[in-house]
Structure 1
């Protein structure tokens, strides 16, 4: 089931409420770190909080924190939590509409409260679906960012996948950030706008660093991140619309697990595909495809850039952006050839 997360800003919470939210976060973080060292954490229930503290705390938050700690400890990802935001499952959080405002109600230290949120038009459409029960609400998270408080609401829904057998392959690269291929149709997106923006912000931060203007440097990083996010949204939307227009039933992309070690820019040493926010682009493509009822699959990327349609595989087949088969002479744009091979899943689907 596809999932998106709605980030809803709390509408002008009072100072008293903000103090309470911060205190809840502090207690929850301390409890989570205490749980990590608990010998019977795998058997823990909400009653274990009494061993930690005699203070009153919402059992809904305690139960969600226990689930999170169990998950993190099982995967051995956490030795200590810097911040454990309070979470509420769909049984303890309710979305309602009061006048012109949408509200979210959840248990706190004092009582259950309903808080108005700032919802954009597209978010309002999803909130209406939550209230009607046509989509499923996941575990919501109350968190603070840049002096503002937000409620993150994960939403999942059932989608009927299309029966079309057409497959579209998407190749990711440095000089062409994405190339989509479906049959004889293709779509190219140059990476030069990204490279220009990245070099601009990198140069600007170096100059600011000499002046020790750390606050401005952080703002610069945020601007670059927002620009890249918007660019990825545009690319993913065009690729998915292209797939819809041509009746694609499945989109395939390469597994990016080892992408950092495989591809690096010679012009910008040390700047890998990972730093180009390609994981974000892939995520955007995936959820938009699934929203449209298009299946999404990951393929093993091995040899997709070296293999010809005749089946001949050789490293010398590719030279920069040109692919020319040493056996049959087939000539093609290298990234397009990669997208074709990804669509065919020549090395199999990723495990």
Structure 2
């Protein structure tokens, strides 16, 4: 089973609707905080809302909030929730298509309303799958971000590999952010332009820091974060497209759990600091894009993948920078490509 979340913007809701959404959020947050202190929370049903307030409130939201509070109460260290957005299960949140437009309908304080949404090109296919029932729709969350209102809707579907079991291995690094290998075919993603751009961001923030312009620093950080996300989207899309065109059935990547503890990088160089590049995000993008097209995704233990020759000889001296030369048989290869090949073979086993 695979899951992604569609974040769909509501199309220009009226001021009255925005005020109502905000009121629903405030009321829901107050109700959730009241539930935290309510003794019989484990037996609570939607009827308990009458003990909290006489105002009209959708029972669909009440039930979802009770479930959320129940699940979070054990791990809730704070005495109150800062904000609990209204959630609607798949029985109360309906996605429909009217002519060329898509709408979401859900119960509110007044009545059930249907609101048009801004459906981006890549979201249209998923909305159609929700409508025809080929994917499972989860509980949607109504939330606000930067003065705009959205619905976050998780969708789940079964992943069945429809391609031959060719395997792609992917090695991650700094000089080359990613190297993907399929047998004798490979694709490289250089990190030099990325390092250069990140140095410029870091240099600008140093100057802003000297001028004590904190707000400008925050904007620069946000801009760099968006840029990094865009880079990861482009890399992951090219990798998955390369896999599709070569009939790959499985993509394997290194397990990144301990990458911050084991990887070495030049800490003084912001452009080549492995710890600050979002490799985990890149992994997430590759995984969900692969699974969307029926390619299985697996994580591999990274031990010795960069030091092992194709003949099985493993030695730290085999690798020198980007050069790999086996001390036993003399086999030579690009070091990152050799790592990608070994990741594909899962020489250290699959991560558990």
Q: With structure 2 as the length reference, what TM-score do the two structures score?
A: 0.89
CA distance in 2, matches of 1:9, 1:205: 32
- Paired position in structure 1 for 2:330: 329
Cα 1:148–1:175 change in 2 (3 A) is: same
Describe the superposition over 1:258-306 as per-residue Cα deviations: whole angstroms up to 9, x where unpaired. Answer: 2222224215468753531211111111111112211111112222222
Could you tell me whether the CA contact under 8 Å between 1:105 and 1:113 is conserved in 2?
yes
Q: Kindly report structure 1 stretches of 4+ aligned residues shifted beyond 6 Å.
A: none
- Paired position in structure 2 for 1:135: 135
2:205 corresponds to 1:209:
no
Describe the superposition over 1:83-127 as per-residue Cα deviations: whole angstroms up to 9, x where unpaired. Answer: 322221111101123455321111222222111111223323322
- Paired position in structure 1 for 2:346: 345
Could you tell me whether the CA contact under 8 Å between 1:197 and 1:224 is conserved in 2?
no
Cα 1:229–1:77 change in 2 (3 A) is: farther
2:285 corresponds to 1:278:
no
Could you tell me whether the CA contact under 8 Å between 2:85 and 2:142 is conserved in 1?
yes
Pairwise mapping of residues 284-323 of structure 1 onto structure 2 (< 5 A)? 284-323=285-324
2:241 corresponds to 1:248:
no
Give the number of aligned pairs. Answer: 350
- Paired position in structure 1 for 2:19: 19
CA distance in 2, matches of 1:56, 1:315: 69
CA distance in 1, matches of 2:350, 2:136: 29
Cα 1:33–1:172 change in 2 (3 A) is: farther
Report how far residue 316 of structure 1 moved.
Answer: 2.9
CA distance in 2, matches of 1:297, 1:146: 36
SS class of match (1:199): helix
Cα 1:210–1:93 change in 2 (3 A) is: same
Unaligned 5+ residue runs, structure 2?
Answer: none
CA distance in 1, matches of 2:60, 2:136: 18
Report how far residue 38 of structure 1 moved.
Answer: 5.3
SS class of match (1:349): coil
Report how far residue 51 of structure 1 moved.
Answer: 4.8
Cα 1:101–1:214 change in 2 (3 A) is: farther
- Paired position in structure 1 for 2:195: 195
Cα 1:309–1:216 change in 2 (3 A) is: same
Aligned-pair RMSD on alpha carbons? 2.5
Report how far residue 343 of structure 1 moved.
Answer: 0.8
Could you tell me whether the CA contact under 8 Å between 1:260 and 1:272 is conserved in 2?
no
Q: With structure 1 as the length reference, what TM-score do the two structures score?
A: 0.89
Could you tell me whether the CA contact under 8 Å between 2:163 and 2:248 is conserved in 1?
no
Pairwise mapping of residues 172-191 of structure 1 onto structure 2 (< 5 A)? 172-191=172-191
Cα 1:29–1:206 change in 2 (3 A) is: farther
Report how far residue 247 of structure 1 moved.
Answer: 1.4
Could you tell me whether the CA contact under 8 Å between 2:65 and 2:87 is conserved in 1?
yes
CA distance in 1, matches of 2:267, 2:150: 40
Cα 1:213–1:350 change in 2 (3 A) is: same
2:115 corresponds to 1:115:
yes
- Paired position in structure 2 for 1:67: 67
Cα 1:165–1:33 change in 2 (3 A) is: same
Could you tell me whether the CA contact under 8 Å between 1:233 and 1:284 is conserved in 2?
yes
- Paired position in structure 1 for 2:88: 88
